[in-house]
Amino acid sequence: MLFRVGVALLVIFTILLLAGLFPIKIIDPGWQLRVIRTLVNNGTIAVLGLVLISLAPVINPTETLKKRRLRIANLAVIASIGYLLIVPLQGIAIWQGLSSFGISQARQLQAAKDKIELIRKAVNESGNTAELQKRLQAIPGPSLPPLNTNTPIEIVRPQLLSLLNTAQGQLRQRSAGAGLSDDRLQQLVQESIRVGLSALVFAAAFACGSVWPGGSRNLFDSWLKIFSALFGWMRPRRRTGKKSSDREYFDQLSGSGPPDPGDR
């Protein structure tokens, strides 16, 4: 019973993950972050399924359940490593997304500046309103409202230049405030921390319930063994015997050490 419920939970997790994959856009940072959020937000379902599957052979210790549990525990190694990789992958996706956003925003601002300059040039160089109307229609992008060709250019020109100066000032303000707002940036940092820490917890949970293929040790114990060996190698060793012998040697040279038995 527990085994079947555990498998059902893993199937539900797989369905939710597949739903978050489509439409597939592998190189899109937004798609990458969406998949990462799907994995983290639904990781509890998969962990609970793994726990139930691990408990099934304990309550009903049959060889069939033990073998099935072992196969799923072998797959848990892959799941643990996958969740561990979420941390650097999330950082890369966020960096790429911010870079793409900055480039896109810069292009939009530059396009707006170029159009303002083209309109300004057309306004200054046109001899009459009809000519100005034709030049404005030839400028790429959204067209301006049609002008009254009966209005003298001497009246139209100052009005349009005033509007262009206002638009240019607004564009400068947009350029100065380009980028993410403080609130959006704070939300992004908080969400990144939440996803990163959750991914580490899920990686540890899957590692505890995993079994190396062909072995009996789980991935979490292997990590602990590696970390213990690493920190043990980095920890400086005491050399009390060496210091004691050095001290006795210098004491004998200075005559303050214990007398040699052969001198008695």
pLDDT tens digit at each of 264 positions of the chain: 899 999 999 999 999 999 999 999 999 999 999 999 999 999 999 999 999 999 999 998 899 999 999 999 999 999 999 999 999 999 999 999 888 888 888 888 888 889 889 989 988 998 888 888 888 888 876 666 677 778 888 888 898 889 889 988 888 888 776 667 778 888 999 999 999 999 999 999 999 999 888 777 888 988 888 888 887 765 555 554 544 555 554 455 555 555 554 444
pTM (global) more than 0.85: no
pLDDT of residue 258: 52
Give the integer Cα–Cα distance in Å for 47 and 206.
7
pLDDT at 259: 52
CA angle 206, 210, 213 (to 5 degrees): 140
Cα 78 to the center of its chain, rounded Å? 20
Domain ranges of the chain: 2-234
CB atoms within 10 A of CB 256: 8
Cα–Cα dist 117/168, whole Å: 9
pLDDT of residue 262: 47
Written in H, E and C, the secondary structure of the chain is CHHHHHHHHHHHHHHHHHHHHCCCCCCCHHHHHHHHHHHHHCHHHHHHHHHHHHHHHHHCCCHHHHHHHHHHHHHHHHHHHHHHHHHHHHHHHHHHHHHHHHHHHHHHHHHHHHHHHHHHHHHHHCCCHHHHHHHHHHCCCCCCCCCCCCCCHHHHHHHHHHHHHHHHHHHHHHHHCCCCCHHHHHHHHHHHHHHHHHHHHHHHHHHHCCCCCCCCCCHHHHHHHHHHHHHHHHCCCCCHHHHHHHHHHHHHHHCCCCCCHHHC
Q: Which amino acid type is present at position 174?
A: R
